[in-house]
Amino acid sequence: MNNYGVNKVSDAIKQHTKWMEDINKCLICNISPRKEMIDEEAHLVCKFGKWLEDNKEELKDINLKTFYEVYEEHKQLHQEAKEILDMAFEHNFANIAKHKTIPLEKYDTLLKLSKDIKKTLRKFRASLYESE
């Protein structure tokens, strides 16, 4: 699990960066969000979320505190992104002509969560290395 886990967390960091780019494209370029970006359970729909959920018992045994930190930050990040997309598109994702500007504070919260999750994922990856 550990090498596999380390690789999965490393992949999650890369996937997260791509996901943030996709969120920004929706907001800046008026591209309709993909279904999985606005799903109520988006944190369980993405690849990393599925892996985290499928392996949670083993991961909790490795580092319980950091597992829950990653889990909660990941969930918060997806929720914040969904709220921002809902706000920007006024819940009408098919009609991108109605795209609205979102408050700076809301976007700053998303960026902070994005930085936090990367930091926590790196800490989580380190705990997987140490448990080998």
* DSSP per residue, 70-118: HHHHHHHHHHHHHHHHHHHHTT-TT-GGG--PPPHHHHHHHHHHHHHHH
**Residue 83 is part of which domain span?**
2-130
* Span 49-94, pLDDT tens digits: 888 898 899 888 888 898 999 999 999 999 999 999 988 887 676 6
CATH number where 35 lies: 1.20.120.30
Q: Residue 132: its pLDDT value, please?
A: 62
What pLDDT does 112 receive? 93
Number of domains in the chain: 1
pLDDT of residue 79: 95
pLDDT in tens, 82-130: 999 988 887 676 655 566 778 888 889 999 999 999 999 888 888 887 7
